């Protein structure tokens, strides 16, 4: 195989993208990465997700996070473009947007309230409620009540799902006719 070399750069076409510069542009985040520099654009942090929020949204975020922390033991971590709050399983998460915080709360029932923008079934036992928060004053009852309810239900719903899964017995498979199985096997062996 003949390799084409460009007379101007001295590089073949596959290596001409970044030319003879020391470093490269990350395919995913388009950030310039110097040669030898560590780069992991998939890893994100809570701070990185919330640092560019407006003052009102920063205040709302701090109040929301503080409210959740006051509930008790839990794990708070960043994942992709969201900050997750979980016990055994996630009970709510926040997606910071430019003009609002998108709050997704998992409950065992469907809410009918003006704050709830959208409701989707997340699983057999969980319903996700999408709420938009624009100011810290919105982080009060009934939203804080729903968060507490989700916190208290999260272990119950996840353990309930485990119980349902283990309690159910698989359906018995219908018995196959032995003669029919033997004929199928014989046909397959003749084809080979």
State whether 63 and 4 are in the same domain. no
Split into its structural domains, the chain has a count of 2
Q: Do residues 77 and 112 both lie within one domain?
A: yes
**Domain containing 33: what range?**
1-41
Q: What is the mean pLDDT of residues 119-138?
A: 94
Whether residues 19 and 57 fall in one domain:
no
- Tens digits of residue pLDDT in 34-93: 887 777 666 678 888 899 999 999 999 999 999 999 999 999 998 888 999 999 889 999
Task: Answer yes or no: do 11 and 51 share one domain.
Answer: no
Neighbouring residues of 59: CB distance < 8 A, sequence distance ≥ 6: 135, 136
As a whole-number percent, the residues of the chain with pLDDT over 90 amount to 47
Collect all residues with Cβ–Cβ distance below 8 Å to 29 and sequence separation of at least 6. 41
Q: What is the domain-level CATH number for residue 91?
A: 3.30.1460
Cβ neighbour number for residue 74 with a 10 Å cutoff: 16
Residues 81 and 153 in one domain: yes
User: pLDDT at position 172, please?
Assistant: 61
Q: Are residues 146 and 74 in the same domain?
A: yes
With a CB cutoff of 8 Å and minimum separation 6, the contacts of 184 are none
The Cα 167–Cα 159 span in angstroms is: 12
Shared domain for 61 and 1, answered yes or no, is no
What does the pLDDT read at residue 190?
67
Instruction: Note whether residue 173 is domain-resident.
Output: no
Same domain, 51 and 31: no
Whether 149 and 57 map to the same domain: the answer is: yes
Across residues 128-139, what is the average pLDDT?
Answer: 95
| pLDDT higher than 60, residue 106 | yes
pLDDT, the chain, mean = 80
Q: How confident is the model at residue 16 (pLDDT cuts 50, 70, 90)?
A: very low
pTM: 0.62
- Same domain as 33, residue 18: yes
Taking residues 6-17, what's their average pLDDT? 50
Is the domain of 96 the same as that of 62?
yes
């Amino acid at each position: 195989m003949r390799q084409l070399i460009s007379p101007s750069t001295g590089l073949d076409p596959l290596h001409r993208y970044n030319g003879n510069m020391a470093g490269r542009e990350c395919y995913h985040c388009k950030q310039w990465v110097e040669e030898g520099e560590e780069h992991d654009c998939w890893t994100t942090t809570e701070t990185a997700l919330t640092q560019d929020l407006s003052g009102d949204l920063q205040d709302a975020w701090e109040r929301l996070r503080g409210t959740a922390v006051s509930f008790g033991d839990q794990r708070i971590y960043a994942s992709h473009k969201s900050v997750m709050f979980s016990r055994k399983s996630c009970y709510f998460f926040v997606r910071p947007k430019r003009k609002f915080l998108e709050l997704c709360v998992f409950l065992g029932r469907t809410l009918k309230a003006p704050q709830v923008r959208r409701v989707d079934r997340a699983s057999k036992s969980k319903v996700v409620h999408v709420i938009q928060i624009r100011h810290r004053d919105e982080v009060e009852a009934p939203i804080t009540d729903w968060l507490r309810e989700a916190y208290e239900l999260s272990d119950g719903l996840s353990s309930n799902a485990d119980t349902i899964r283990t309690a159910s017995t698989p359906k018995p498979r219908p018995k196959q006719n032995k003669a029919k199985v033997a004929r199928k096997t014989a046909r397959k062996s003749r084809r080979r």
